[in-house]
């Protein structure tokens, strides 16, 4: 009888143990550097940074095209003078390896 209670208590103890799960951060930190604040301000209002941080290393033309597509097709409020600084940051940090110097 007492053994039965002990088992019941032990089972309760195990269930009460806190379960820890680690979720990835919603918006992983962008690589620091010139333009990172601009990208944070202009590129994270519609989707997470994973849309561009998980792209393969792509040439500058791709990044320019992507920024212009966000601006034109998807209506991102990106000023004409912001396109080049955005492309510079994206290409330097997430572009083709030869640019990452
Ligand atoms: C106004 C909303 C909006 C903003 C701001 C925005 N995007 Fe997007 N973006 C989208 C939509 C919508 C998609 C397509 C979503 C899908 O296919 O699931 C997308 C998709 C993408 C993709 C995936 C490839 C593709 O062409 O579909 C990349 C890369 C990307 N965005 C980069 C950026 C960058 C870099 C910025 C900042 C310069 C940015 N986005 C700002 C709306 C936006």
Pocket test residue of 27, 55, 70 for ligand 1, highest count of atoms within 8 A of CB: 70
Tell me the pLDDT tens digit for each residue of 40-82.
Answer: 999 999 999 999 999 999 999 999 999 999 999 999 999 999 9
Tell me the pLDDT tens digit for each residue of 49-59.
Answer: 999 999 999 99
Task: Give the pLDDT band of residue 97 (cuts 50, 70, 90).
Answer: confident
Distance (Å) of CA 98 to CA 20, 29, 50, 91, 101: 41, 23, 21, 10, 7
Q: Using a 6 Å CB cutoff, which residues line ligand 1?
A: 42-43, 45-47, 51-52, 55, 66-67, 69-70, 74-76, 78, 86, 90
Pocket test residue of 41, 50, 64, 74 for ligand 1, highest count of atoms within 8 A of CB: 74
What CA dihedral angle connects 82, 87, 93 and 97, to 10 degrees? -160
């Amino acid at each position: 009888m007492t053994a039965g209670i002990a088992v019941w208590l032990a089972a309760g103890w195990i269930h009460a143990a806190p379960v820890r799960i680690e979720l990835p951060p919603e918006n992983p930190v962008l690589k620091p550097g010139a333009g990172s604040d601009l990208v944070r301000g202009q590129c994270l209002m519609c989707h997470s940074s994973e849309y561009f941080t998980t792209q393969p290393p792509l040439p500058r033309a791709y990044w320019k095209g992507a920024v212009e597509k966000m601006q034109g097709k998807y209506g991102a409020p990106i000023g004409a003078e912001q396109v080049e600084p955005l492309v510079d940051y994206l290409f330097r940090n997430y572009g083709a390896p030869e640019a990452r110097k």
